[in-house]
Protein backbone atom coordinates (compact mmCIF):
# COMPACT_ATOMS: atom_id res chain seq x y z
CA UNK A 1 0.00 0.00 0.00
CA UNK A 2 1.80 3.14 -1.20
CA UNK A 3 0.72 5.45 1.62
CA UNK A 4 3.33 8.09 0.79
CA UNK A 5 2.18 8.34 -2.82
CA UNK A 6 -1.47 8.36 -1.79
CA UNK A 7 -0.84 11.11 0.75
CA UNK A 8 0.83 13.47 -1.71
CA UNK A 9 -1.68 12.88 -4.51
CA UNK A 10 -4.63 13.29 -2.12
CA UNK A 11 -3.15 16.54 -0.72
CA UNK A 12 -2.90 17.95 -4.25
CA UNK A 13 -6.45 16.82 -5.02
CA UNK A 14 -7.90 18.35 -1.85
CA UNK A 15 -6.09 21.68 -2.28
CA UNK A 16 -7.06 22.13 -5.92
CA UNK A 17 -10.69 21.01 -5.48
CA UNK A 18 -11.22 23.36 -2.51
CA UNK A 19 -9.75 26.35 -4.36
CA UNK A 20 -11.83 25.61 -7.44
CA UNK A 21 -15.05 25.08 -5.44
CA UNK A 22 -14.63 28.30 -3.43
CA UNK A 23 -13.92 30.36 -6.54
CA UNK A 24 -16.86 28.97 -8.53
CA UNK A 25 -19.33 29.11 -5.61
CA UNK A 26 -18.39 32.72 -4.87
CA UNK A 27 -18.84 33.71 -8.49
CA UNK A 28 -22.24 31.99 -8.76
CA UNK A 29 -23.37 33.39 -5.40
CA UNK A 30 -22.67 36.94 -6.55
CA UNK A 31 -24.38 36.26 -9.89
CA UNK A 32 -27.48 34.94 -8.08
CA UNK A 33 -27.70 38.21 -6.13
CA UNK A 34 -27.92 40.44 -9.20
CA UNK A 35 -31.57 39.73 -10.31
CA UNK A 36 -33.28 40.35 -6.91
CA UNK A 37 -31.04 43.36 -6.30
CA UNK A 38 -31.83 44.93 -9.67
CA UNK A 39 -35.63 44.53 -9.35
CA UNK A 40 -35.73 46.08 -5.87
CA UNK A 41 -36.39 42.96 -3.81
CA UNK A 42 -33.08 43.40 -1.98
CA UNK A 43 -31.41 46.50 -0.63
CA UNK A 44 -27.64 46.88 -0.40
CA UNK A 45 -27.35 45.42 3.10
CA UNK A 46 -29.54 42.42 2.29
CA UNK A 47 -27.63 41.81 -0.95
CA UNK A 48 -24.44 41.11 0.99
CA UNK A 49 -26.29 38.66 3.24
CA UNK A 50 -27.98 37.05 0.24
CA UNK A 51 -24.66 36.55 -1.57
CA UNK A 52 -23.13 34.97 1.54
CA UNK A 53 -26.12 32.65 1.91
CA UNK A 54 -26.08 31.74 -1.80
CA UNK A 55 -22.47 30.54 -1.50
CA UNK A 56 -23.50 27.34 0.31
CA UNK A 57 -26.28 26.15 -2.07
CA UNK A 58 -24.01 26.83 -5.04
CA UNK A 59 -21.58 24.24 -3.68
CA UNK A 60 -24.05 21.56 -4.76
CA UNK A 61 -23.50 22.59 -8.38
CA UNK A 62 -19.78 23.35 -8.31
CA UNK A 63 -18.46 20.42 -6.25
CA UNK A 64 -18.81 17.90 -9.13
CA UNK A 65 -16.92 20.14 -11.52
CA UNK A 66 -14.32 21.09 -8.90
CA UNK A 67 -13.68 17.42 -8.10
CA UNK A 68 -13.49 16.55 -11.81
CA UNK A 69 -11.11 19.44 -12.51
CA UNK A 70 -8.84 18.58 -9.57
CA UNK A 71 -8.74 14.88 -10.46
CA UNK A 72 -8.03 15.60 -14.12
CA UNK A 73 -5.25 18.14 -13.52
CA UNK A 74 -3.50 16.21 -10.72
CA UNK A 75 -3.62 12.82 -12.43
CA UNK A 76 -2.59 14.35 -15.76
CA UNK A 77 0.52 15.70 -14.06
CA UNK A 78 1.16 12.30 -12.45
CA UNK A 79 0.79 10.60 -15.80
CA UNK A 80 2.62 13.11 -18.03
CA UNK A 81 5.64 13.32 -15.67
CA UNK A 82 6.02 9.51 -15.74
CA UNK A 83 5.14 9.16 -12.04
CA UNK A 84 2.40 6.74 -13.07
CA UNK A 85 4.85 4.63 -15.10
CA UNK A 86 7.25 4.56 -12.15
CA UNK A 87 4.43 3.41 -9.89
CA UNK A 88 3.48 0.66 -12.35
CA UNK A 89 7.11 -0.46 -12.57
CA UNK A 90 7.28 -0.56 -8.78
CA UNK A 91 4.36 -2.96 -8.62
CA UNK A 92 1.55 -0.47 -7.88
CA UNK A 93 -1.59 -1.43 -9.80
CA UNK A 94 -3.88 0.86 -11.73
CA UNK A 95 -6.59 0.34 -9.12
CA UNK A 96 -4.20 1.22 -6.30
CA UNK A 97 -3.14 4.40 -8.08
CA UNK A 98 -6.82 5.50 -8.23
CA UNK A 99 -7.34 5.21 -4.44
CA UNK A 100 -6.72 8.98 -3.82
CA UNK A 101 -9.32 9.87 -6.50
CA UNK A 102 -11.74 7.40 -4.93
CA UNK A 103 -11.08 8.94 -1.49
CA UNK A 104 -11.64 12.45 -2.88
CA UNK A 105 -14.88 11.39 -4.57
CA UNK A 106 -16.12 9.59 -1.48
CA UNK A 107 -15.29 12.53 0.82
CA UNK A 108 -16.90 15.02 -1.57
CA UNK A 109 -19.99 12.79 -1.93
CA UNK A 110 -20.37 12.56 1.87
CA UNK A 111 -19.91 16.33 2.16
CA UNK A 112 -22.51 16.95 -0.55
CA UNK A 113 -24.92 14.53 1.15
CA UNK A 114 -24.65 16.44 4.44
CA UNK A 115 -25.04 19.74 2.62
CA UNK A 116 -28.06 18.58 0.59
CA UNK A 117 -29.85 16.90 3.47
CA UNK A 118 -29.17 19.27 6.37
CA UNK A 119 -27.43 22.55 5.47
CA UNK A 120 -28.55 23.71 2.02
CA UNK A 121 -32.34 23.47 2.75
CA UNK A 122 -31.96 25.92 5.63
CA UNK A 123 -29.91 28.33 3.53
CA UNK A 124 -32.40 28.14 0.65
CA UNK A 125 -35.27 28.97 3.02
CA UNK A 126 -33.41 31.98 4.37
CA UNK A 127 -32.65 33.18 0.82
CA UNK A 128 -36.33 32.83 -0.15
CA UNK A 129 -37.37 34.78 2.93
CA UNK A 130 -34.98 37.60 2.04
CA UNK A 131 -36.42 38.08 -1.44
CA UNK A 132 -40.04 37.72 -0.28
CA UNK A 133 -41.85 41.00 -0.80
CA UNK A 134 -41.61 43.24 2.27
CA UNK A 135 -44.85 45.25 2.35
CA UNK A 136 -43.38 48.20 4.27
CA UNK A 137 -40.30 48.46 2.07
CA UNK A 138 -42.37 48.08 -1.09
CA UNK A 139 -44.71 50.89 -0.02
CA UNK A 140 -41.90 53.25 0.91
CA UNK A 141 -39.96 52.59 -2.30
CA UNK A 142 -42.92 52.85 -4.66
CA UNK A 143 -44.31 56.00 -3.04
CA UNK A 144 -40.93 57.70 -3.27
CA UNK A 145 -40.93 56.81 -6.97
CA UNK A 146 -44.32 58.50 -7.38
CA UNK A 147 -46.25 55.27 -7.98
CA UNK A 148 -49.47 53.90 -6.55
CA UNK A 149 -49.18 50.66 -4.58
CA UNK A 150 -51.81 47.93 -4.52
CA UNK A 151 -51.22 45.20 -1.96
CA UNK A 152 -53.08 41.90 -2.23
CA UNK A 153 -56.43 42.02 -0.39
CA UNK A 154 -55.81 45.69 0.42
CA UNK A 155 -56.58 49.13 -1.02
CA UNK A 156 -54.63 51.10 -3.59
CA UNK A 157 -52.43 53.53 -1.69
CA UNK A 158 -51.13 56.93 -2.83
CA UNK A 159 -48.98 59.43 -0.96
CA UNK A 160 -46.59 62.30 -1.56
CA UNK A 161 -44.01 60.94 0.87
CA UNK A 162 -43.43 57.76 2.84
CA UNK A 163 -40.84 57.16 5.52
CA UNK A 164 -40.07 53.96 7.44
CA UNK A 165 -39.57 54.51 11.17
CA UNK A 166 -38.93 52.19 14.08
CA UNK A 167 -42.11 51.03 15.89
CA UNK A 168 -42.58 52.11 19.48
CA UNK A 169 -40.76 49.98 22.09
CA UNK A 170 -42.92 47.09 23.23
CA UNK A 171 -45.09 47.21 20.13
CA UNK A 172 -45.84 43.92 18.35
CA UNK A 173 -45.49 45.70 15.01
CA UNK A 174 -42.48 44.80 12.89
CA UNK A 175 -42.60 47.91 10.69
CA UNK A 176 -44.06 51.41 10.74
CA UNK A 177 -44.45 53.80 7.80
CA UNK A 178 -45.39 57.49 8.04
CA UNK A 179 -47.29 58.98 5.06
CA UNK A 180 -48.00 62.59 4.17
CA UNK A 181 -50.86 63.66 1.86
CA UNK A 182 -52.25 60.15 1.94
CA UNK A 183 -55.03 58.64 -0.18
CA UNK A 184 -56.50 55.14 -0.45
CA UNK A 185 -59.03 53.61 -2.83
CA UNK A 186 -60.86 50.40 -1.97
CA UNK A 187 -61.83 48.32 -4.98
CA UNK A 188 -64.54 45.69 -5.28
CA UNK A 189 -64.05 42.25 -6.86
CA UNK A 190 -64.45 43.72 -10.36
CA UNK A 191 -61.87 46.43 -9.76
CA UNK A 192 -64.44 49.23 -9.45
CA UNK A 193 -63.72 51.83 -6.71
CA UNK A 194 -66.28 51.58 -3.91
CA UNK A 195 -64.66 53.76 -1.26
CA UNK A 196 -62.21 56.66 -1.32
CA UNK A 197 -60.25 58.00 1.61
CA UNK A 198 -57.90 60.98 1.84
CA UNK A 199 -55.93 62.29 4.80
CA UNK A 200 -53.27 64.84 5.54
CA UNK A 201 -51.23 62.31 7.50
CA UNK A 202 -51.39 58.57 8.01
CA UNK A 203 -49.44 55.91 9.88
CA UNK A 204 -49.21 52.28 8.85
CA UNK A 205 -48.23 49.44 11.20
CA UNK A 206 -47.35 46.00 9.86
CA UNK A 207 -47.89 43.04 12.20
CA UNK A 208 -46.49 39.53 11.64
CA UNK A 209 -48.87 36.55 11.26
CA UNK A 210 -50.60 35.71 14.52
CA UNK A 211 -49.60 38.92 16.34
CA UNK A 212 -53.15 40.31 16.46
CA UNK A 213 -56.36 38.62 17.64
CA UNK A 214 -57.71 36.50 14.82
CA UNK A 215 -60.87 37.56 13.04
CA UNK A 216 -63.40 35.46 11.20
CA UNK A 217 -61.54 35.55 7.89
CA UNK A 218 -58.01 35.55 9.33
CA UNK A 219 -56.38 32.12 9.49
CA UNK A 220 -53.38 33.41 11.45
CA UNK A 221 -50.99 32.87 8.52
CA UNK A 222 -51.17 36.31 6.88
CA UNK A 223 -49.61 39.59 7.90
CA UNK A 224 -51.96 42.29 9.20
CA UNK A 225 -51.74 45.94 8.24
CA UNK A 226 -53.41 48.69 10.28
CA UNK A 227 -53.59 52.24 8.97
CA UNK A 228 -54.66 55.21 11.11
CA UNK A 229 -55.53 58.44 9.31
CA UNK A 230 -55.72 61.99 10.68
CA UNK A 231 -58.09 64.62 9.25
CA UNK A 232 -59.80 62.05 7.06
CA UNK A 233 -62.36 62.54 4.31
CA UNK A 234 -64.29 59.39 3.32
CA UNK A 235 -66.64 59.08 0.36
CA UNK A 236 -68.58 56.30 -1.33
CA UNK A 237 -68.45 53.70 1.43
CA UNK A 238 -70.75 50.66 1.54
CA UNK A 239 -73.52 52.54 3.36
CA UNK A 240 -73.64 55.20 0.68
CA UNK A 241 -72.46 57.91 3.11
CA UNK A 242 -69.44 60.19 3.08
CA UNK A 243 -68.02 62.57 5.61
CA UNK A 244 -65.15 63.98 7.61
CA UNK A 245 -63.54 62.38 10.67
CA UNK A 246 -60.76 63.59 12.92
CA UNK A 247 -59.32 60.06 12.98
CA UNK A 248 -60.20 56.86 11.16
CA UNK A 249 -58.66 53.43 11.30
CA UNK A 250 -58.88 50.46 8.98
CA UNK A 251 -57.23 47.06 8.81
CA UNK A 252 -56.49 44.67 5.98
CA UNK A 253 -54.45 41.52 5.49
CA UNK A 254 -51.46 40.94 3.23
CA UNK A 255 -51.17 37.28 2.16
CA UNK A 256 -47.76 35.89 2.96
CA UNK A 257 -46.07 35.47 -0.45
CA UNK A 258 -43.58 32.94 0.91
CA UNK A 259 -44.28 29.61 -0.79
CA UNK A 260 -43.21 26.47 1.00
CA UNK A 261 -41.17 24.10 -1.14
CA UNK A 262 -39.87 20.58 -0.40
CA UNK A 263 -36.36 21.81 -1.18
CA UNK A 264 -36.52 23.77 2.10
CA UNK A 265 -36.88 20.55 4.13
CA UNK A 266 -34.10 18.46 5.62
CA UNK A 267 -33.83 14.68 5.21
CA UNK A 268 -36.04 13.80 8.19
CA UNK A 269 -38.58 16.51 7.42
CA UNK A 270 -38.75 15.48 3.77
CA UNK A 271 -39.32 11.86 4.71
CA UNK A 272 -42.27 12.79 6.96
CA UNK A 273 -43.73 15.35 4.55
CA UNK A 274 -45.98 13.00 2.45
CA UNK A 275 -47.82 12.05 5.64
CA UNK A 276 -47.88 15.64 6.95
CA UNK A 277 -48.77 17.66 3.83
CA UNK A 278 -50.32 20.49 5.86
CA UNK A 279 -46.81 21.79 6.58
CA UNK A 280 -46.80 23.09 3.00
CA UNK A 281 -48.72 26.38 2.94
CA UNK A 282 -50.16 25.90 -0.57
CA UNK A 283 -51.50 22.50 0.52
CA UNK A 284 -52.87 23.91 3.76
CA UNK A 285 -54.63 26.73 1.90
CA UNK A 286 -56.50 24.15 -0.19
CA UNK A 287 -57.27 22.12 2.93
CA UNK A 288 -58.85 25.21 4.49
CA UNK A 289 -60.78 25.87 1.27
CA UNK A 290 -62.20 22.34 1.33
CA UNK A 291 -63.07 22.72 5.02
CA UNK A 292 -64.91 25.95 4.20
CA UNK A 293 -66.86 24.31 1.36
CA UNK A 294 -67.74 21.35 3.54
CA UNK A 295 -68.82 23.67 6.35
CA UNK A 296 -70.95 25.70 3.94
CA UNK A 297 -72.60 22.52 2.65
CA UNK A 298 -73.41 21.45 6.21
CA UNK A 299 -74.67 24.94 7.05
CA UNK A 300 -77.09 25.04 4.12
CA UNK A 301 -78.57 21.72 5.20
CA UNK A 302 -79.47 23.06 8.63
CA UNK A 303 -79.90 26.75 7.82
CA UNK A 304 -83.68 26.62 7.61
CA UNK A 305 -83.91 25.00 11.05
CA UNK A 306 -81.58 27.57 12.59
CA UNK A 307 -83.49 30.51 11.08
CA UNK A 308 -86.83 29.20 12.32
CA UNK A 309 -85.39 28.66 15.80
CA UNK A 310 -84.58 32.34 16.29
CA UNK A 311 -82.43 33.70 13.53
CA UNK A 312 -78.84 33.62 12.40
CA UNK A 313 -75.72 34.95 14.10
CA UNK A 314 -72.69 35.86 12.00
CA UNK A 315 -69.28 37.33 12.75
CA UNK A 316 -67.86 39.95 10.39
CA UNK A 317 -64.23 40.51 9.39
CA UNK A 318 -63.67 42.66 12.50
CA UNK A 319 -64.98 40.01 14.89
CA UNK A 320 -68.27 41.85 15.52
CA UNK A 321 -71.67 40.14 15.62
CA UNK A 322 -74.30 40.49 12.93
CA UNK A 323 -77.70 39.11 14.01
CA UNK A 324 -80.30 38.37 11.34
CA UNK A 325 -84.01 37.76 12.11
CA UNK A 326 -86.01 36.02 9.38
CA UNK A 327 -88.62 33.29 8.98
CA UNK A 328 -86.85 30.92 6.57
CA UNK A 329 -84.59 30.49 3.58
CA UNK A 330 -85.18 29.63 -0.06
CA UNK A 331 -82.74 28.69 -2.80
CA UNK A 332 -82.23 31.52 -5.31
CA UNK A 333 -79.67 30.30 -7.85
CA UNK A 334 -76.31 30.17 -6.08
CA UNK A 335 -77.63 32.46 -3.34
CA UNK A 336 -79.99 31.84 -0.41
CA UNK A 337 -82.95 34.23 -0.10
CA UNK A 338 -84.09 35.06 3.43
CA UNK A 339 -87.88 35.00 3.87
CA UNK A 340 -89.42 37.42 6.40
CA UNK A 341 -90.99 35.91 9.50
CA UNK A 342 -94.71 35.14 9.49
CA UNK A 343 -96.74 38.33 9.90
CA UNK A 344 -93.82 40.56 8.86
CA UNK A 345 -92.74 41.92 5.54
CA UNK A 346 -89.10 42.74 6.35
CA UNK A 347 -85.90 41.03 7.47
CA UNK A 348 -84.21 42.58 10.50
CA UNK A 349 -80.45 42.96 10.97
CA UNK A 350 -78.77 44.05 14.20
CA UNK A 351 -75.11 44.99 13.70
CA UNK A 352 -72.39 47.59 14.29
CA UNK A 353 -70.82 50.02 11.87
CA UNK A 354 -67.40 48.38 11.50
CA UNK A 355 -64.48 50.72 12.05
CA UNK A 356 -66.70 53.69 13.07
CA UNK A 357 -65.39 55.38 16.21
CA UNK A 358 -68.46 57.57 16.77
CA UNK A 359 -70.78 57.13 19.76
CA UNK A 360 -73.72 56.11 17.57
CA UNK A 361 -72.40 52.82 16.17
CA UNK A 362 -75.24 50.37 16.99
CA UNK A 363 -77.37 49.78 13.89
CA UNK A 364 -80.81 48.26 13.37
CA UNK A 365 -81.53 47.66 9.69
CA UNK A 366 -84.81 46.51 8.19
CA UNK A 367 -84.83 45.33 4.58
CA UNK A 368 -87.56 44.25 2.18
CA UNK A 369 -85.16 41.81 0.50
CA UNK A 370 -82.17 39.90 1.84
CA UNK A 371 -79.92 37.28 0.27
CA UNK A 372 -76.89 35.32 1.43
CA UNK A 373 -74.26 35.18 -1.32
CA UNK A 374 -71.39 32.65 -1.16
CA UNK A 375 -68.03 34.28 -0.40
CA UNK A 376 -64.51 32.98 0.07
CA UNK A 377 -64.69 33.33 3.86
CA UNK A 378 -68.38 32.45 4.33
CA UNK A 379 -71.24 34.65 3.12
CA UNK A 380 -72.02 38.17 2.01
CA UNK A 381 -75.38 39.55 3.19
CA UNK A 382 -77.07 41.58 0.45
CA UNK A 383 -79.89 43.89 1.54
CA UNK A 384 -82.31 45.69 -0.80
CA UNK A 385 -84.91 48.33 0.02
CA UNK A 386 -83.47 48.94 3.48
CA UNK A 387 -83.62 51.55 6.23
CA UNK A 388 -81.11 51.92 9.08
CA UNK A 389 -81.58 53.32 12.57
CA UNK A 390 -78.52 54.30 14.66
CA UNK A 391 -78.32 54.29 18.45
CA UNK A 392 -75.71 54.68 21.18
CA UNK A 393 -74.96 56.46 24.47
CA UNK A 394 -78.61 56.11 25.45
CA UNK A 395 -79.88 57.95 22.38
CA UNK A 396 -81.68 56.66 19.28
CA UNK A 397 -81.96 58.44 15.96
CA UNK A 398 -84.76 58.17 13.44
CA UNK A 399 -84.41 55.75 10.55
CA UNK A 400 -82.61 56.95 7.46
CA UNK A 401 -84.37 57.27 4.14
CA UNK A 402 -84.89 54.03 2.31
CA UNK A 403 -81.90 53.12 0.19
CA UNK A 404 -81.62 50.69 -2.67
CA UNK A 405 -78.89 48.18 -1.95
CA UNK A 406 -75.93 47.40 0.34
CA UNK A 407 -73.78 44.44 1.29
CA UNK A 408 -72.32 43.28 4.59
CA UNK A 409 -69.49 40.82 4.61
CA UNK A 410 -67.68 38.60 4.48
CA UNK A 411 -69.65 36.99 7.30
CA UNK A 412 -68.97 33.72 9.08
CA UNK A 413 -71.85 31.73 10.54
CA UNK A 414 -71.70 31.10 14.28
CA UNK A 415 -71.32 28.45 15.45
CA UNK A 416 -69.27 27.67 12.38
CA UNK A 417 -69.81 24.20 10.89
CA UNK A 418 -66.38 24.50 9.27
CA UNK A 419 -64.51 24.46 12.57
CA UNK A 420 -64.70 20.68 12.92
CA UNK A 421 -63.37 20.25 9.37
CA UNK A 422 -60.61 22.81 9.95
CA UNK A 423 -59.30 20.68 12.81
CA UNK A 424 -58.75 17.73 10.44
CA UNK A 425 -55.54 16.96 8.60
CA UNK A 426 -55.53 16.63 4.81
CA UNK A 427 -55.88 12.80 4.78
CA UNK A 428 -58.67 12.95 7.38
CA UNK A 429 -60.50 15.72 5.54
CA UNK A 430 -60.36 13.92 2.18
CA UNK A 431 -61.85 10.81 3.81
CA UNK A 432 -64.49 12.81 5.72
CA UNK A 433 -65.75 14.61 2.61
CA UNK A 434 -65.73 11.58 0.32
CA UNK A 435 -69.51 11.14 0.59
CA UNK A 436 -70.46 14.81 0.02
CA UNK A 437 -72.05 15.48 -3.36
CA UNK A 438 -72.09 19.29 -3.33
CA UNK A 439 -70.32 20.65 -6.43
CA UNK A 440 -68.12 23.04 -4.44
CA UNK A 441 -67.03 20.29 -2.04
CA UNK A 442 -66.28 17.84 -4.86
CA UNK A 443 -64.19 20.41 -6.76
CA UNK A 444 -62.24 21.48 -3.66
CA UNK A 445 -61.67 17.85 -2.63
CA UNK A 446 -60.40 16.96 -6.09
CA UNK A 447 -58.08 19.97 -6.10
CA UNK A 448 -56.67 19.08 -2.67
CA UNK A 449 -56.17 15.42 -3.65
CA UNK A 450 -54.36 16.41 -6.84
CA UNK A 451 -52.08 18.82 -5.00
CA UNK A 452 -51.32 16.19 -2.35
CA UNK A 453 -50.38 13.70 -5.08
CA UNK A 454 -48.24 16.41 -6.69
CA UNK A 455 -46.48 16.96 -3.37
CA UNK A 456 -45.75 13.23 -2.99
CA UNK A 457 -44.23 13.13 -6.48
CA UNK A 458 -42.19 16.24 -5.74
CA UNK A 459 -40.85 14.75 -2.50
CA UNK A 460 -39.92 11.52 -4.31
CA UNK A 461 -38.11 13.45 -7.03
CA UNK A 462 -36.25 15.62 -4.52
CA UNK A 463 -35.10 12.63 -2.45
CA UNK A 464 -33.72 10.79 -5.47
CA UNK A 465 -32.20 13.97 -6.91
CA UNK A 466 -30.15 14.49 -3.75
CA UNK A 467 -28.97 10.88 -3.71
CA UNK A 468 -28.15 10.92 -7.41
CA UNK A 469 -26.13 14.14 -7.07
CA UNK A 470 -24.00 12.61 -4.32
CA UNK A 471 -23.54 9.32 -6.17
CA UNK A 472 -22.63 11.02 -9.42
CA UNK A 473 -20.00 13.13 -7.65
CA UNK A 474 -18.07 9.98 -6.73
CA UNK A 475 -18.25 8.70 -10.31
CA UNK A 476 -17.25 12.11 -11.77
CA UNK A 477 -14.10 12.24 -9.64
CA UNK A 478 -13.11 8.76 -10.82
CA UNK A 479 -13.90 9.73 -14.41
CA UNK A 480 -11.47 12.66 -14.21
CA UNK A 481 -8.67 10.51 -12.81
CA UNK A 482 -9.12 7.62 -15.25
CA UNK A 483 -9.42 9.94 -18.26
CA UNK A 484 -6.24 11.81 -17.27
CA UNK A 485 -4.25 8.58 -16.87
CA UNK A 486 -5.53 7.25 -20.19
CA UNK A 487 -4.84 10.48 -22.12
CA UNK A 488 -1.42 11.26 -20.68
CA UNK A 489 -0.14 12.75 -23.93
CA UNK A 490 -3.03 15.19 -24.41
CA UNK A 491 -3.27 18.77 -23.21
CA UNK A 492 -4.69 19.17 -19.65
CA UNK A 493 -7.70 21.25 -20.65
CA UNK A 494 -8.49 19.02 -23.63
CA UNK A 495 -8.32 16.05 -21.31
CA UNK A 496 -10.62 17.84 -18.86
CA UNK A 497 -13.18 18.33 -21.65
CA UNK A 498 -13.48 14.53 -21.90
CA UNK A 499 -14.64 14.59 -18.26
CA UNK A 500 -16.46 17.91 -18.24
CA UNK A 501 -18.90 17.07 -21.04
CA UNK A 502 -20.00 13.68 -19.57
CA UNK A 503 -20.33 15.36 -16.16
CA UNK A 504 -22.58 18.08 -17.61
CA UNK A 505 -24.72 15.47 -19.36
CA UNK A 506 -25.00 13.54 -16.11
CA UNK A 507 -26.23 16.58 -14.17
CA UNK A 508 -28.62 17.48 -17.02
CA UNK A 509 -30.19 14.01 -16.91
CA UNK A 510 -30.52 14.28 -13.13
CA UNK A 511 -32.32 17.62 -13.46
CA UNK A 512 -34.50 16.35 -16.30
CA UNK A 513 -35.30 13.15 -14.41
CA UNK A 514 -36.21 15.15 -11.33
CA UNK A 515 -38.69 17.23 -13.33
CA UNK A 516 -40.12 14.14 -15.05
CA UNK A 517 -40.50 12.36 -11.70
CA UNK A 518 -42.24 15.44 -10.28
CA UNK A 519 -44.70 15.34 -13.19
CA UNK A 520 -45.14 11.60 -13.72
CA UNK A 521 -43.95 9.84 -10.58
CA UNK A 522 -41.59 6.82 -10.55
CA UNK A 523 -41.58 6.73 -14.37
CA UNK A 524 -38.98 9.51 -14.31
CA UNK A 525 -36.51 7.67 -12.04
CA UNK A 526 -34.75 5.73 -14.87
CA UNK A 527 -33.84 9.05 -16.51
CA UNK A 528 -32.83 10.57 -13.17
CA UNK A 529 -30.38 7.73 -12.43
CA UNK A 530 -29.58 6.96 -16.06
CA UNK A 531 -26.98 9.68 -16.43
CA UNK A 532 -24.98 8.49 -13.42
CA UNK A 533 -25.25 4.90 -14.66
CA UNK A 534 -24.04 5.85 -18.13
CA UNK A 535 -21.12 7.79 -16.65
CA UNK A 536 -20.18 4.76 -14.55
CA UNK A 537 -20.12 2.62 -17.71
CA UNK A 538 -17.93 5.27 -19.33
CA UNK A 539 -15.48 5.09 -16.40
CA UNK A 540 -15.38 1.28 -16.59
CA UNK A 541 -14.70 1.44 -20.35
CA UNK A 542 -11.92 3.99 -19.86
CA UNK A 543 -10.35 1.97 -17.05
CA UNK A 544 -10.37 -1.27 -19.03
CA UNK A 545 -8.60 0.43 -21.92
CA UNK A 546 -6.08 1.91 -19.49
CA UNK A 547 -5.44 -1.40 -17.69
CA UNK A 548 -5.08 -3.31 -20.97
CA UNK A 549 -2.08 -1.18 -21.94
| pLDDT tens sequence across 96-146 | 999 999 999 999 999 999 999 999 999 999 898 887 766 677 777 778 777
Distance CA 345, CA 353 (A): 24
CA–CA dist 418, 292 (Å, integer): 5
Choice among 142-146, 210-214, 301-305, 415-419 with the minimum mean pLDDT: 210-214
**What CA–CA distance (Å, rounded) separates 66 from 216?**
55
CA distance 71 to 67: 6
Residue of 361, 341, 340, 336 whose CA lies nearest to 351 = 361
- Is the pLDDT assigned to residue 216 strictly greater than 50? no
Taking residues 351-368, report their average pLDDT.
66
Q: Which residues contact 299 (CB under 8 A, 6 or more apart)?
A: 413, 417
Residues 263-277, mean pLDDT to the nearest whole number: 93
Q: Find residue 369's DSSP bridge partners.
A: 384
- Kind plus residue range of the DSSP H or E element containing 406: strand 403-414
Question: At 320, phi and psi to the nearest 5?
Answer: -95, 150
> Vertex 97, ends 91 and 103: CA angle to 5°?
145
Reported as a single tens digit per residue, the pLDDT across 173-182 is: 777 888 888 8
Q: What is the 3-state secondary structure (H, E, C) of 143-189?
A: HHCCCCEECCCCCEEECCEEEEECCCCCCCCCEEEEEEEEEEEEECC
DSSP type of residue 220: S
pLDDT band at 224 (very low <50, low <70, confident <90, very high): low
Q: Mean pLDDT in the chain?
A: 82
Lowest-pLDDT choice from 187-201, 330-344, 527-541: 187-201
Please state, in angstroms and rounded to a whole number, the distance separating the CA atoms of residues 265 and 119.
10
The yes-or-no verdict on residue 354 having pLDDT over 60 is no
CA–CA dist 490, 487 (Å, integer): 6
Alpha carbons within 13 angstroms on the beta-carbon side of residue 118 total 5
pLDDT the model gives residue 289: 83
Mean pLDDT highest for which of 36-50, 341-355, 444-458? 444-458
The mean pLDDT of 302-329, rounded to a whole number, is 75
Amino acid sequence: MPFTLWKHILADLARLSVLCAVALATLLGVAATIPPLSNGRLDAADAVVFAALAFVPMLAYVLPFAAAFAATIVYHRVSSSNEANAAYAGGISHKSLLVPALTLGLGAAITLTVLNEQVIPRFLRRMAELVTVDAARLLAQEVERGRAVSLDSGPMIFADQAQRVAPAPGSAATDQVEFSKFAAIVLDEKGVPRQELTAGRATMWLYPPGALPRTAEDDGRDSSVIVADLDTVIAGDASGLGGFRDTSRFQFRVPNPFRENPKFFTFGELRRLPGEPDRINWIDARRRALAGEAGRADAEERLATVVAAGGLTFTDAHGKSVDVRAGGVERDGEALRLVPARGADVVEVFHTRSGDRSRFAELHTIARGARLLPAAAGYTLELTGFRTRESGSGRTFASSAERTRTQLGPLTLRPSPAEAYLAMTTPELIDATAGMNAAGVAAARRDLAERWAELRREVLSKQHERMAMSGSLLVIALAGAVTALHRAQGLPLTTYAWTFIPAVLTLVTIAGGQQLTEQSGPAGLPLLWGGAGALLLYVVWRFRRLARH
